[in-house]
Chains A and B, each alone.
Chain A
Amino acid sequence: MVGDKGFKKFLVICIFLLPNFIGFIFFIGVPILASFGLSFTEWDLISNPSWIGIEHYKALLGDEEFRSAMFHTFYFIAGYLPLVMSGALGIALVLNKKIRGRVFFRAAYFVPVITSWVAVSLIWKWLFNPTYGLINYGLSLIGVSGPAWLHDPTWAMPAIILTSVWKDLGFVMVIYLAGLQGISPTYYEAADIDGASAWQKFRNITLPLLNSTTFFVLIISLINSFQVFDQVMIMTEGGPAGSTTVLVQQIYKHAFDYYEMGYASAISWVLFFIIFGVTLVQMKLQKRWVDYGN
């Protein structure tokens, strides 16, 4: 910039940028391209890779396991998204008020966010233990005989969904809190003068003004939940009877259990295109989304 010309300028740029750039090319750039290329080849890491065109993508269409993984991923999202969003909004609304111990409560809700997925999954696996777990004991107190949860194909996914909601609640709550703090109190003051009820205020002020936050949370959570993996791997490994296999697990299985690098790559690109689609929708809608607040 100032005074730097020619070679010296070039050198300065190189020193600042190159260390990052080289690693970026090596560990991100090349792998992305390689993965794309691999998805059109058959390769078991031992023999030479052979080009097979779009065969993998065709095969995916008829792959029963892949279809069921896709279905379970959507099932997970359908359960997880509404619960985590409404739950987090509810807590954020409460914690946004000037209440005693607000800092403590906020901290408590955030603790699962800092805890690793593996730790959380193990704790909840134990909580969901059919015989000695706390959850079925709690249910028995109110006269309900709890299911076998992770051992029961019907209840395994709901258990994973509940665990995930519990872990991510604090994260989504913090984003909602930030959104709520952006709403000017004058709106509520005006509504108070008009004698609006708490529900009316929520319905007609809070919710519309949180539009952009809600949309944002939706997109982020959607993208993250397409990548659900750790909790499934620890809690059920996709079982029982394949009732919880998810998309990323299919990638993992084909790549590292079966050494089908090409097929695994093809699935990972399906995941990419889903996420890409979500991102496109986000970019399209973001412009149109009316943001009354800020």
Chain B
Amino acid sequence: MSWRGAWAAALGVGLVIAGAARAAFPVDVPDDRGRSVHVAGPVKRIVVAGPLLFAQIVDELGIADRVVGVAESPEIPERFRAIPRVGELGAVSIERVMALEPDLVLGAYGPSRDGLEAAGLLVYTPAPADDIAGVLRTIEQVERTVLGESRAAPELARKLTTEVTEIESRVAGKPRVRVALLYPLPGSPPLTSGAGTPEHELLVRAGAENVFADTPKYHRVSYEEILRRDPDAIIVDPSELDWTRTNEVVSSLRAVRAGRVLAVRPSTWVSTRFPDTIRRVAAWLHPEAFSVPTPATASTPPAEARP
């Protein structure tokens, strides 16, 4: 099983990184621009300027009480609702962030990011994840930036990978369903997730065959190509369900005619809750694999992968 092998290797590498990273302040953490961000001391006040993933990470790591500001988004987790807002995602107000006197601005991107750095604030934005290992690495990097060391991240990574392995074992050997992930765009053909995206890996682990596996990363695919590959099932944003019915090309796809359209919020793919997403997709693609209770083997913790 090459997938299993790759999976175990990824986990192993993750644990090695985690182990090697155990260190106190100051720490240097690599960011999305290939630089090393120097964190001199403990971070007590955090502004979350990035997407939902970052709010989820600080929540999962038990450091949510350090968050003093969040960027506006329709999906802010319940516990951050009462916290001051610092503007739109990708365009936070530099003044409002400064007024909160944060030690760290997490996940800032877009035009205001350079302004935040110029204002002397410590900005940390990790490289976007290409796969599940990338999401786990993001969790670990955020924790190291805030706490100076890895504490909860390795355990969280183990828990998440265990959940994925359990789902994978249920769909193992089942015939793969040909799936496409489609996001309509204005003025151009729809966008899809190909190889080198967490969505692609999650689809494959959920027992799907991504019909656009050969397109690199997030790529626009022509309506002609969508018709030619005619997937058995498609996954769209909940707000695009209407599009699958009204667009003449999409509504004529085999998947739509057979009613095999699943709505998944885009933020749930690159998320700390990705096992839930895989489970939902897998149960939708292979309902028969989920009609029986969890196999006994999955309830016991897997063998330690620590080298």
Partners in one complex: no
